[in-house]
Amino acid sequence: MLDQVLEFFDIKADYDLNLMKPNQALVDISSDVLKGITTIIQQDFTPDYVVVQGDTTTAMAGALAAFYSKVQVIHIEAGLRSEDKYSPFPEEMNRVLIGRMTDLHFAPTENSKQNLIREGVHPASVFNVGNTVIDALLLGLSTIKKSESGTFSDYFNFLDKSKRLILVTGHRRENFGEPFENICYALKQIVDTHDDVEIVYPVHLNPNVQEPVQRILKDDPRIHLIEPLGYPYLIWLLDLCYLVITDSGGIQEEAPALGKPVLVMRDVTERQEGVEAGTAKLVGTNTQVIVQEATKLLNDQDHYHSMAKAVNPYGDGTTSQQVISELVLSYS
């Protein structure tokens, strides 16, 4: 899943830990990353600083490896908090743990910055710079528009351009089981009650996602269950769609940058700024709530435009340059 992103942005990795194994547990990937990064830090490459981005288990283990090696940690996308250690799981605790090991914190919003300061982080080490996800999104779309025009429309030739498209992404561990079934029933009901709507759902490879999604949704002709998309194909689809229904994190920031309303299938979100700005709405995993809010966006144009035109609070595409400038000042 990562290789295609590196290829798209023409990034060549110097080290590959070959971490992916079928249906592996969190303890497996945590220990493998910790050992792999420690070996690189202590034997192959001796850095002054280690930069980790986001809230993944790999980011947490990478920060821990740096801490054990007494190397300073720089955290990009710092300070996000849901205040519920099990939602999202394990990302919320990954963020908290990374924050305790970090020397320089680059927060995406003022709320994130204040979260860290309330936790005792010195204000001078926290910078509000926006989120690099917006930089990547805008750079990616610019690259796509320079490519052959038919590449992406040919790939998605099964879409009916006369219908409004809903992009769905869902893979959160806390939604495994009955919550995923509820989500699937909601998607089916939305399509059944709106003849002018179709859904594209790139289905995560995890068996806990695949089983309920395939069982409940595979036979509906206007719900397209496809393999996970490469990054350029995902953002092309994001740019094309009418609205987004997701339990993902980053897409809560990407979609508003393109004027797409987001329904978030979680009870809490660490990206509360989007909810407060009106670009996103929490709908949980209750079937009727998801259907109700999607129907409102599909049927009420004023409501749709109020979400689509809300100001995106996650940055303007200059985050990377701001990070570089601060690093130069801090370590010069």
Instruction: Please identify every residue annotated as catalytic.
Output: 55, 77, 91, 171, 173, 204
Contacts of 44 (CB under 8 A, 6+ apart): 15
d(CA 4, CA 55): 21
Q: How far is Cα 290 from Cα 253, in angstroms, rounded to an integer?
A: 20
> Looking at this protein, which amino acid is placed at residue 156?
F
d(CA 307, CA 155): 29
Q: How far apart are CA 85 and CA 217, in angstroms?
A: 31
The 8-class DSSP code of residue 23 comes to: T
3-state secondary structure of 66: helix
Q: Let me know: does 30 contact 214? Beta carbons within 8 Å.
A: no
Q: What angle do CA 103, 109, 110 make, to 5 degrees?
A: 85
Alpha helix positions (H), 156-230: 178-192, 207-217
- Give phi and psi for 79, each to the nearest 5: 90, 0
Residues 6+ apart with CB under 8 A from 162: 196
How far is residue 11's CA from residue 135's CA, in Å, rounded to a whole number? Answer: 15
Backbone angles phi, psi at 215, to 5 degrees: -65, -40
Rg (CA), the chain: 20
Residue at token pair 């049927």: 299
